[in-house]
Amino acid sequence: MKADVKTLDPALRARVEDFLTDYAHRLDDGRIDDWTGFFTQDTLYQITTRENFEAGYPIGILLCKGKGMMEDRVLALKTANVFEPHTHCHILGRPMLEALPGGEIGARSNFSVYRTMESGATELFAIGKYLDRIVLEAGEPRFKERRVILDSRCVDVLLVFPL
Binding-residue pattern over the window 47 to 76 for a copy of itself, x denoting contact by CB under 8 A? --xx--------------------------
Q: How far apart are the first and last CA of the chain?
A: 33
Shortest Å, Cβ 77 to a copy of itself: 19
Window of 33-41, 56-64, 67-75, 99-107 that interacts with a copy of itself by CB under 8 A: 33-41
Task: Name the phi and psi angles at 27, rounded to 5.
Answer: -65, -40
How far apart CA 53 and CA 102 sit, in angstroms, is 25
Specify the residue, 23 or 46, whose C-beta has the smaller distance to a copy of itself.
Answer: 23
**Residue 155, helix vs strand vs coil:** coil
Shortest Å, Cβ 48 to a copy of itself: 13
Residue 28 engages a copy of itself in binding (rule: CB under 8 A): yes
Task: Name the phi and psi angles at 111, rounded to 5.
Answer: -140, 155
Q: Beta-strand (E) ranges in 20-104?
A: 39-49, 62-65, 86-92, 96-99
Sign, CA torsion 67/130/147/50: negative
Residue 90 engages a copy of itself in binding (rule: CB under 8 A): yes
Q: Would you tell me which residues interact with a copy of itself (CB under 8 A)?
A: 1-3, 5, 7, 10-11, 13-15, 17-22, 24-25, 28, 34, 37-38, 49-50, 87, 89-96, 108, 110-112, 114, 116, 119-122, 124, 127-129, 140, 151-154
